[in-house]
Amino acid sequence: MKNHAQLSQEFNANEPRVNWHDETLWWVRQKRDKAANTLPEWEQLREAASSIKYHTLSNLNDYLQQFEANAEQNGVTVHWAADAKEHNEIVHRILAAEGVNRIVKSKSMLTEECHLNPYLAEKGIDVIDTDLGERIVQLADEPPSHIVLPCIHKKKEEIGELFHEHLGTAKGEADPQVLTAAARVHLREKFLTRRAAITGVNFAIAETGEFVVCTNEGNADMGAHLADVHIACMGIEKLIPQRRHLSIYLRLLARSATGQPVTTYSSHFRRPRAGQQMHIVLVDNGRSTQLGREEFRNSLKCIRCGACMNTCPVYRRSGGHSYHTAIAGPIGAILAPNLDMKQYADLPFASTLCGSCSNVCPVKIDIHDQLYKWRQVLMKDGQGGAAKGLSMKAMNFTLSSPGVYRTAGKAGRWFLRNVPFVVNNPLNPWYKQRDMPEAPKQSFGEWYQQNRKK
């Protein structure tokens, strides 16, 4: 299993491509800035959004039951899944009961997290992802690399090649307009012929039992309104107390995500349409554990806008797949260790702690502070290995003793050997693409001793 540093190194083998990836996402970040700046009240909205989410988390037990009761009253069947496995089983059970073996699915990062597609495939159920970006990565047999822009890592020529192979477009055709038109025709046939549709959930309202799904393409609606069975899968943290609170989140979500004033469609599902079945699967999968981790519970405020990825200077230059988890980028790096500390111990280190992620976050998650805190938790848990612990102890020994530090420093021996970024040795990663600072004749301490000390 390769870690983030190794996967990033591979991504960086093609520098022009890294430049392209970086510029594309930076452009999205700039659109976000422009959109945010159209609202003088932007920072107050973020504050309110953060506060409402925290309040919801502090009363989640009640809100979940309120939501359940209202949804059931609306004629929706509510299911509870403790983990990914149970989520997948519930979805399969619903489909099997209806004898459905071909379905459409709109974007849901939760189903990515639960690995629903491979599970259903094993059970003989064909899943078509209908979000264009997700369909593209599905055809390429890859996971999405970004939660909002799933195929942001792919060039149009590569997509053209995939479409030529799978959808029969002309060889060499790479015009986004033409490719999108081909996908429209291809997916319309799926919408019209599939009897069940899965969607994600952006917000669920405790007070009314309704849920809101936001898309630009209209694929969630096309799937849901044409299907006999609609299954909406949501993490338990998607709740908000009241319908009116949507105003705050819908103002923030698309502006943060893509710089649009709102997504094209913000659809409020409250009751199944006549003759239709509607199911909601409420999924925990580690969320209640994260809720109990005081330092990390704010991560559950996330509304999945992707702004932290677009602004992250590391993400832009390492690509989403380097995070080897369903949700990439800074937010993914604080969510993933909750699921598996060992497997994702590298992710909180995939950051310079520059803090840009926390600043763009529409719900003010202290992302970079949580990255720092995860580092402490992971190393205390022994995830750094014994060698790292020992070298840190040695560093601490020297740095806590002025005498040792001065003797070590004077000869330049200790620093050159122990402070990782200055080891003057071609095998040291610093030296590969950077030169060393020139060693001065005397340290500041020595200069001071000579020039100021009476």
Partner 1 sequence: MTSREKILAAVKKNQPELAPMAEYIQPERAEDLVAKFAIVLDGIGGKAVMVQRMEEIRQHLQEHWLGKGRIVSMVPELRDLGEQPSEVDPHQFENVELAILPAHFAVAENSAVWVTEELLQQRVLPFITQNLAVIVRRERLVATMHHAYELIGNGDYGFGTFIAGPSKTADIEQSLVLGAHGSKSMTVFLL
Partner 2 sequence: MRVGLFIPCYVDQFYPNAGIATLQLLEKLGVEVVYPANQTCCGQPMANSGFEHLTEGCNRLFVDQFAGFDYIVSPSGSCVLHVKDHLHLHDREQEAEQVRTKVYEITAFLTDILQVTALPGRFPHKVGLHQSCHGQRGLHLSAMSELVAPKFSKPLQLLNMVEGIELIPLKREDECCGFGGTFCVTEEAVSVKMGKDRVSDHLENGAQFITGTDMSCLMHMEGILRRRNSQVKVMHITEILNAGS
Residue 93 touches partner 1, criterion: CB under 8 A? no
What letter does residue 169 receive in the DSSP assignment? P
Using DSSP's 3-state secondary structure scheme, residue 341 falls into coil
Burial class, 111, CB count within 10 angstroms (exposed 0-12 / middle 13-18 / buried 19+): buried
Contact set for partner 2, span 27-56 (CB under 8 A): 33, 36-37, 39-40, 42-43
- Binding to partner 1 by residue 241, rule CB under 8 A? yes
Judge whether 258 and 211 are in contact, CB under 8 Å. Answer: no
The answer to whether residue 4 forms part of the interface with partner 2 (CB under 8 A) is yes
The listed partner (partner 2, partner 1, none) that binds 376, CB under 5 to 8 Å by sort, is partner 2
Do residues 154 and 143 make contact, with C-beta atoms less than 8 angstroms apart?
Answer: no
> Where in 271-300 is the site for partner 1 (CB under 8 A)?
271-274, 282, 284, 288-289, 291-292, 294, 297
Binder of partner 1 out of 42, 265, 405, 430 (CB under 8 A): 265
Using a 10 angstrom Cβ sphere, with 0-12 exposed, 13-18 middle and 19 or more buried, the burial of residue 21 is buried
Residues 106-165 within binding reach of partner 1 (CB under 8 A): 130-133, 136, 149-152, 154-156, 159
| Closest distance to partner 1 from the beta carbon of 432 (Å) | 32
- The site map against partner 2 for 276-315 (x = CB under 8 A) is -----------------------------------x-xx-
**Which listed option, partner 2, partner 1, none, makes contact with residue 430 (CB within 5 to 8 Å by class)?**
partner 2
Query: Should residue 81 be labelled a site residue for partner 1 when binding is judged by CB under 8 A?
Result: yes
**How many CB atoms are closer than 10 A to CB 425?**
11
- Residue 355 interface partner, choices partner 1, partner 2, none, CB cut-off 5-8 Å depending on type: partner 2
Q: Which does 356 bind (CB under 5 to 8 A by kind): partner 1, partner 2, none?
A: partner 2
Q: Which is nearer to partner 2, 146 or 375 (CB)?
A: 375
Q: Please state the separation of Cα 32 from the chain's center in Å.
A: 17
The one of partner 1, partner 2, none whose footprint includes residue 401, by CB under 5 to 8 A per kind, is partner 2
What is the Cα–Cα distance from 234 to 81, expressed in whole angstroms?
A: 10
Closest listed residue to residue 255, CA positions, set 8, 29, 22, 23: 29
Q: Which amino acid is at 351?
A: S
Region binding partner 2 by CB under 8 A among candidate stretches 168-176, 196-204, 272-280, 443-451: 443-451
CA–CA dist 298, 294 (Å, integer): 8
Based on CB atoms, which residue is closest to partner 1, 2 or 244?
244
SS3 62: helix
**Whether the Cβ atoms of residue 219 and residue 106 lie closer than 8 Å to each other:** yes
Pick from 352, 385, 407, 411 the residue near partner 2 by CB under 8 A: 352
Residue list 401-430, contact with partner 2 (CB under 8 A): 401-402, 405, 409, 412, 415, 419-422, 428-430
**N-term to C-term CA, the chain:** 59
Q: Please report whether residue 188 would count as binding partner 1 according to CB under 8 A.
A: yes
Cα–Cα distance measured from residue 142 to residue 150, given in angstroms and rounded to the nearest whole number: 10
Give me the least distance between CB of 289 and partner 2, in Å please: 20
Closest by CA position to 80, among listed 68, 96, 69 = 68
324-343: contacts with partner 1 (CB under 8 A):
none
Two tokens, residue 350: 């995939």
C-beta of 249 vs 374, nearer to partner 1 = 249
9 binds partner 2 (CB under 8 A): yes
Q: CA–CA separation, 303 vs 338, rounded Å?
A: 18
